Amino acid sequence: MKKIIFIFLFVLLIAGAILTIKMTGNTTKNLTYTDTVKLETTAGDIVIELYSDKSPITVANFKRYVQEGFYDNTIFHRIIAGFMVQGGGMDTKGNEKPTHASIKLESQNGLSNKKGTVAMARTNVPDSATAQFFINVADNNFLDYGFRNDGYAVFGKVISGMDVVEKMSKVKTNSNDEPLEKIKIIKASFI
């Protein structure tokens, strides 16, 4: 009798879990991930803390790309010494990867483009950021909202590996600020 009750409860538990997944759509694709991301690069590891409380749209966008593996096997394609390193949009052959729709600019979040912060790259159109991001290697307050334009949305900060970023920022580049030796993001993952 105990065995029958145990089997019944077990089947009931499994059926309830399946029903919950079907009703809510809650599968592993919708997991809440941590606010810490590691970029494994050919120059070394960079760990970024994300500010989901200050930049919720931007952080959700970045997490989506990390979850999908979008940043894996991309390159840092633009490096300007004493300013920033930019990546997250080009494959290893230098081709721009297709992205999701652009997001709303969150540059009025009280965060400043200080050394070590991570911000979304965009065109001259304020709400045009998609996947590309940059890491500031200097205090770049002129990129903040209101200084001269709509600004660039800071959404995180390097908490480990700033020495790697500094090393990257000093590589030789061509006249288009492209590094002569590719610096690849091998994998982006939540930690």
State yes or no: pLDDT of 15 exceeds 70. Answer: no
CA angle 47, 102, 63 (to 5 degrees): 30
Contact 37, 189 (CB under 8 A): yes
Non-local (6+) Cβ contacts of 113 within 8 A are: 119, 136, 139, 140, 141, 142, 143, 144, 151, 152, 154
Task: Kindly report, residue by residue over 54-68, the tens digit of the pLDDT.
Answer: 999 999 999 999 999
In this structure, are residues 152 and 120 in contact, taking their beta carbons and an 8 Å threshold? yes
Beta bridge partners of 45: 40
Give the contacts of 37 (CB within 8 A, at least 6 positions apart). 47, 48, 50, 62, 63, 66, 156, 188, 189, 190, 191
Distance (Å, whole) CA 98 – CA 59: 19
- Whether residue 12 is predicted with pLDDT greater than 80 in this model: the reply is no
Is the model more confident about 21 or about 50?
50
**Residue 22 confidence class, pLDDT cut points 50, 70, 90:** very low
Domain boundaries, the chain: 1-28, 32-190
- Listing DSSP states for 153-182 in one string gives -EEEEEEE-HHHHHHHHTS-B-TTS-BSS-
**Can you say how many angstroms the Cα of residue 2 is from the centroid of all Cα atoms in its chain?**
52
Q: Is the Cβ–Cβ distance between 164 and 43 less than 8 Å? A: yes
pLDDT digits 0-9 by tens, 71-119: 999 999 999 999 999 999 999 999 999 999 999 999 999 999 999 999 9
Whether residue 20 is predicted with pLDDT greater than 70 in this model: the reply is no
CA atoms of 73 and 94, how far apart (whole Å): 11
Q: Which CATH class is domain 32-190?
A: mainly beta
**Does the pLDDT of residue 24 top 70, yes or no?**
no
SS3 1: coil
Beta strands in the chain (DSSP E): 36-41, 44-50, 74-80, 84-91, 117-120, 133-136, 154-160, 184-190
2 confidence band (pLDDT: 50, 70, 90): low
Q: Residue 30 gets which letter from DSSP?
A: G
Instruction: Look over the chain and give the mean of its residue pLDDT values, rounded to a whole number.
Output: 88
Query: What percentage of residues in the chain have a pLDDT greater than 90?
Result: 81
Task: Report pTM.
Answer: 0.83
